[in-house]
Amino acid sequence: MMAEAASSALKEAQLQRVDAIYIGVMNVEEFVGDSNFAALLTDTLGLAGVPSTRVETASSTGAGVFETAFYAVASGHMKHVLVLAGEKMTHLSTAKTTRILSEAIDRSERRYGATMPALAAMVAQKYAREFNLPQLKLEDILAQVAIKNHANGYLNHYAQFRKIITKDDYLKSQMVSYPLRLYDCAPITDGASAMVLTSQPTPIKVSGIGHATDTSAVRHRTSFTSFNSTKEAAHRAYAMAQLNPSDIQFAEVHDAFTPFEIIGTEDLGFFSAGEGWKALEEGVTLLRGRLPINPSGGLKARGHPVGASGLAQLVEIVYQLRGEAGTERQLERAEIGLAHSIGGLGNNNLVTILERTDGKRILKAGAIPFGEASTRWKPTVEIFRKSLTYTVLRN
């Protein structure tokens, strides 16, 4: 699966060989029982010899490996680099997969039985409390995230689930951890994504990357309805790109659980705290809205092969920037796109901004709202014009 994605990327980039391979897998050791995976995969690609490094930042691994490869190219030591991410999960029982994924949670909280859906459910409850949403209203907005992303995924032939769901389907779906139902949770997915980064000029460039961590224990944080790691990562990405949140035309936002999409759109500065659900309700984030969120279908419908998801988001953005997302999904305004990926329960997050180099920059006048613009960032890597950017996601 990863070899298939890589081969297509190299073929599209018209490259037989690259200077290095960066491989993102979250937990191939426990999911599959292999270690030394970077070398194994490189050999599988017929590229034995090429330097190969595995990179991991929990469920944001796909974005983390992209960042790492970006610096390698930006350093001037590499010209063409293959970034390859994937995860194989569906062969295991849900119980085993849940146990493995729970190892990303702080040990002291894990000991009390915390799982990812349980913690996400607490976040959703707290959000409703903090912003005075009645339970029925909360259910309704979470349903709207799921319905929207399934509608987008229906149009994406790389999506794991290509089915439209209704409010009724949502309400009938199994309760996982109140208020989160099955349709609030991203599925268990096998998937791979690949991209070639190059130092040569191309029509798409990496204009901003931000990365930040947070406390391991959720209870040590100052807020449960906002992720500091997203805010800090966004701050850095906007500063590097010298862009405002209002310059972003569309985004892939980490929706492993539906409440995370709403909170994500607030943390990224698209909407004020407690206002994300209103924008959703007003249709702003629909495929044909003012600021489409998760045009790919998101983790919810496209699927969530943990180590691959962050890179699959970037692949989607490249498709949109190139105008190759297909007539039904292609966005009209697609010069600047943002990807937001959450590692663990929001403690190793990345924000990445890609931009068309030939698109007009719609910079708002005035200050960068996320703080002082920094000049120490000098984006130099651009995505290969004919690179792949190819994603396989299947169940």
Kindly list the residues in this chain that would bind its own copies in the complex (CB under 8 A).
20, 26-27, 29-30, 33-36, 38-40, 42-44, 47-58, 64, 67-68, 70-72, 74-78, 100, 103-107, 211-217, 220, 228-229, 232-233, 343-344, 347-348, 376-378, 380
Residue 67 or 261 having the CB closest to its own copies: 67
Residue 68 or 149 having the CB closest to its own copies: 68
Residue 305 or 343 having the CB closest to its own copies: 343
DSSP 8-state symbol, 219: G
Distance of closest approach, residue 362 Cβ to its own copies, in angstroms: 25
Distance of closest approach, residue 81 Cβ to its own copies, in angstroms: 10
Residue 100 or 373 having the CB closest to its own copies: 100
Dist. CA 275–CA 273, nearest whole Å: 5
Residue 36 or 272 having the CB closest to its own copies: 36
Distance of closest approach, residue 78 Cβ to its own copies, in angstroms: 8
Distance of closest approach, residue 86 Cβ to its own copies, in angstroms: 15
Q: Token digits for 138?
A: 């909360």
Residue 92 DSSP SS3? coil
Phi, then psi, of 176 in degrees rounded to 5: -95, -55
Residue 107 or 288 having the CB closest to its own copies: 107
Measured distance between the N- and C-terminal CA atoms of the chain, rounded to whole angstroms: 12
Distance of closest approach, residue 218 Cβ to its own copies, in angstroms: 11
Among 318, 64, 360, 69, residue whose Cα is nearest residue 213: 64
Residue 280 or 342 having the CB closest to its own copies: 342
Distance of closest approach, residue 215 Cβ to its own copies, in angstroms: 5
Beta bridge partners of 393: 191
User: Which residues lie closer than 8 Å to 313 by C-beta, 6 or more apart?
Assistant: 62, 63, 252, 254, 296, 339, 340, 341
Residue 131 DSSP SS3? coil
Distance of closest approach, residue 217 Cβ to its own copies, in angstroms: 8
Residue 151 DSSP SS3? helix
The CA-atom distances, in angstroms, between 104 and each of 26, 34, 98, 267 are: 10, 19, 10, 22
Among 253, 286, 195, 266, residue whose Cα is nearest residue 225: 266
User: Which residues lie closer than 8 Å to 220 by C-beta, 6 or more apart?
Assistant: none
Distance of closest approach, residue 152 Cβ to its own copies, in angstroms: 28
Residue 49 or 113 having the CB closest to its own copies: 49
The CA-atom distances, in angstroms, between 29 and each of 5, 204, 316, 365 are: 21, 35, 28, 49
